[in-house]
Amino acid sequence: MSKEEDTKATRRTTRSSSAAVLRDSGEIKKKCGPHIPTFNDLVFGEDNISKEDLLSNFPGRHTQILELLNLLGPLNSPMLPLFVYGGTSTGKTSVILQIFRHLNRPFVYSSCRTCYSLRTLFESILNQLLLHEKDADNGYLSAKRCEKTSDFVNSLREALVKVVKTLQGNPGKIGTKKLTGQGHGHMIYLIFDNLELVRDWDKSSSILPFLFNLHEVLNMNEVGFLFISNTSPDTYYSNMGYLDPIPVYFSEYTEDDLRKIFIRNQTNQEMYSSFLSVVLGPFYRITRHVNELSIAFSSLYKTYCEASDDLNDVPNESSKRARFSRFQPHISPALNQIFKISSPPSEVNNLKEAKRKAGSKKFGGCDSSEHLDFHMSTSAKYLLLSAFLASRNPATLDASLFDSTGGSSSRKRKKRPSEKSIEQKEICEQELLMKGPGTFPLERLLAIFQCITSVAEISLEDDQGNVAMDSQNEDSELMSDVLLQLSSLCNANFVVKGGSCPLEGSTRYRSTVSEDMALKVARSIKFPLSKYMYRR
């Protein structure tokens, strides 16, 4: 009970745990003895919740819950298909599952995300209806193998008729454990979650009309259909057409709703509410997704508490103001890091840095810290830079940029910019923005890598007066595991493998590193990157 009553901030866990409850009820019983699946498994769980609990569990969702309850109607009354839609983290799935927990009626839930193809979707529905559990005895096979829609409809009808007959046959027997006569009944509801994913499946143009028309095709009054989707009904239009299901919209939360959601399950209510009054306004302008906000707030709240640690805990007006003035500088950097997912130690670093900077400097752009917040070997850094250069510079200019003098000569031929060249430059810039980094073959990358490493050694020698022997040793060391480094860069998504070139047949690569990042890396190894960058 406690898990489901969490805030919607933990919607994902709510979803998985609510699904787990379904499965758990079976599994726990199994441990104490051979579990014979019954139709009780189609109901949410043993404990149901009252309408008041349901409403209070979901602040900001009252209208939607009441509308859904109205549309689902009283016990044993048939319904038309529903189409529930709304953005992510608006509580569609959890509200519907909890409603069924409240109503205590049998349902079959299948998500098109876990059932990634038509066949798995069909089999999951049939497995649940036929009370079939995959285990070692049956070799983890499904109850029925069906790929074709026609087979599915036949077996679905068979299974549904059986289930409905059982439900009608002994309404009292199943409901014995229940508190009242409420619940069960002979309706069974099929819930399809994440329907928007079906559009990307093979043959989606025939699957979607099929799913929407399933109600008509089956023509059974005892079956209710609920479709849950991220996207609105108008994104499903197809050639075929179907009778529109009844739309139910889950809007994004308003500021007040969000405040109610975040204040739930907080130990220090007053502290948190004063925190929210500072933070929620600016963050609300950026995003309204509960899950994103909750991540941002959890770390920010810690700093807020720290900022007020030395103040006494009694919140009065003056201390509130003092706390606010201390805390305010943290907000704006946090706004710009809202979606940054960082490992805990670096997060601390960032925060400290933010603290240091906060007084002297207003925020500008993203964090412009001098040092990198990740570790990388020197050769990997060189490789990264050469990939960046290979992606950015046109291949025809490689020879002039990387000649023996280290490319500095190419910068000398500067013309006075004429009007035409400026225009051209703008067009080129536009093109760069549009096209993004170019692709390059492995050979070119290695050539550039060799060039810049040798140049780097020369410059190092100049600086430190090293002997030539050393540098040669180092050179061979740098070259030793380049391919290994490249594959790890690929894995880290700094370099992506593109499609193969149709003429040469070799794989082409593309660097995804931004210029800021590349400059930062170059600075960390004192490499004059700007010298090699071709400016149009």
Partner 1 sequence: MAAEDLPEARAALSLLRSRLCNSSFYFKPPSDSSDSNYSKLKFIISSSVTEACNNSILLLGPRGSGKMAVLELVLQDLLLEYPDMITVIRLSGLLHCDDNGAFKEIARQLCSEYQLLFSKMASFDDNSQFMVAMLRECGLAHKTIVFVLDEFDLFAQGKQRLLYSLLDAMQSVSSQAIVIGISCRLDADQLLEKRVRSRFSHRKLLFLPPCKENVERLLEHILSLPIDSDLPHDYIIKFNAKLHNMLANERFKKVISTYLDSDSTVKQFVRYLFCAISKLNLKSGLLTVENFEHALSDTQRQPKQEYIKDCSILELYILVCMKRLEVKEQNSYNFNSVMKEYKSIHDSFRTSDYYSRSVCLRAFEHLLQRELICFADNRGHNQSIEFRPAKLLITAHELHHGLKAYRSCPSILQKLMN
| Minimum distance, C-beta of residue 29 to partner 1, in the bound complex (Å) | 35
CB 279, min distance to partner 1, A: 15
Stretch that binds partner 1, among 70-78, 94-102, 123-131, 374-382 (CB under 8 A): 70-78
In single-letter form, the type of residue at position 86 comes to G
| 232 part of the interface to partner 1, by CB under 8 A | yes
166 is a contact residue toward partner 1 (CB under 8 A): no
Identify whether the C-beta of residue 224 lies closer than 8 Å to the C-beta of residue 191. no
Which residue's CB is nearer to partner 1, number 417 or number 498?
498
Residue 65, beta-bridge partner list: none
* Chain center to CA of 75: 38
Between 2 and 70, CB nearer to partner 1: 70
Least Cα distance to 513 among 335, 383, 342 occurs for: 383
Q: How far is CA 328 from the centre of its chain?
A: 29
| Residue (246 or 428) nearer to partner 1, CB | 246
The rounded distance, in Å, linking the Cα atoms of 10 and 228 is 19
Print the binding letters for residues 116-155 with partner 1: x by CB under 8 A, - otherwise. Answer: --------------------------------xxx--x--
- Give CA–CA dist 383/122, Å, rounded: 49
Shortest CB 397 distance to partner 1, Å: 21
Q: Please, which residue, 420 or 435, has the CB nearer to partner 1?
A: 435
The CA distances from residue 427 to 378, 392, 422, 431, 514, in Å, are 36, 16, 9, 6, 20
The per-residue DSSP string of 313-335 comes to: S---HHHHHHHHHHHHHHHHHHH
How far from the centroid of its chain's Cα atoms is residue 69's Cα? Answer: 30
CB of 247 to partner 1, least distance (A): 5
Site string for partner 1, 374-393 (x = CB under 8 A): --------------------
Print the binding letters for residues 416-455 with partner 1: x by CB under 8 A, - otherwise: --------------x--xxxxx------------------
- Residue 184 in the binding site for partner 1 (CB under 8 A): no
CB atoms < 10 A from the CB of 180, how many? 8
Residue in 248, 292, 211 with CA at minimum distance from that of residue 92: 248
Rule CB under 8 A: which of 267-326 touch partner 1? 284-289, 292
Is 361 among the residues that bind partner 1 (CB under 8 A)? Answer: no
- Applying CB under 8 A, does 180 fall inside the site for partner 1? no
Q: In this structure, are residues 130 and 143 in contact, taking their beta carbons and an 8 Å threshold?
A: yes
**Partners of residue 228 on adjacent β-strands:** 84
Residue 498 in the binding site for partner 1 (CB under 8 A): yes
| Minimum distance of partner 1 from residue 70's CB (angstroms) | 4
At CB < 8 A and 24+ separation, what contacts does 286-291 make?
286/335, 286/338, 287/338, 288/87, 288/252, 288/253, 288/258, 289/87, 289/88, 289/89, 290/7, 290/8, 290/9, 290/11, 290/89, 290/253, 290/258, 290/261, 291/9, 291/11, 291/12, 291/88, 291/89
Q: How many residues bind partner 1 (CB under 8 A)?
A: 66
Among 23, 27, 28, 73, binds partner 1 (CB under 8 A): 73
Length of the chain: 536
Binding span for partner 1 by CB under 8 A among 158-166, 209-217, 399-407, 410-418: 209-217
Cβ distance to partner 1 smaller for residue 247 or 394: 247
Q: Residue 171 in contact with residue 76, Cβ under 8 Å?
A: no
The answer to whether residue 218 forms part of the interface with partner 1 (CB under 8 A) is no
- Minimum separation from the CB atom of position 148 to partner 1 (A): 6
357 touching partner 1, by CB under 8 A: no
Using the rule CB under 8 A, which residue among 278, 335, 372, 519 binds partner 1?
A: 335
Q: Which residues bind partner 1 (CB under 8 A)?
A: 67, 70-71, 73-74, 76-80, 85, 87-88, 148-150, 153, 206, 209-210, 213, 216-217, 221, 230-235, 241-244, 246-247, 249, 251-252, 284-289, 292, 335-340, 365-366, 430, 433-437, 496-499, 510, 512
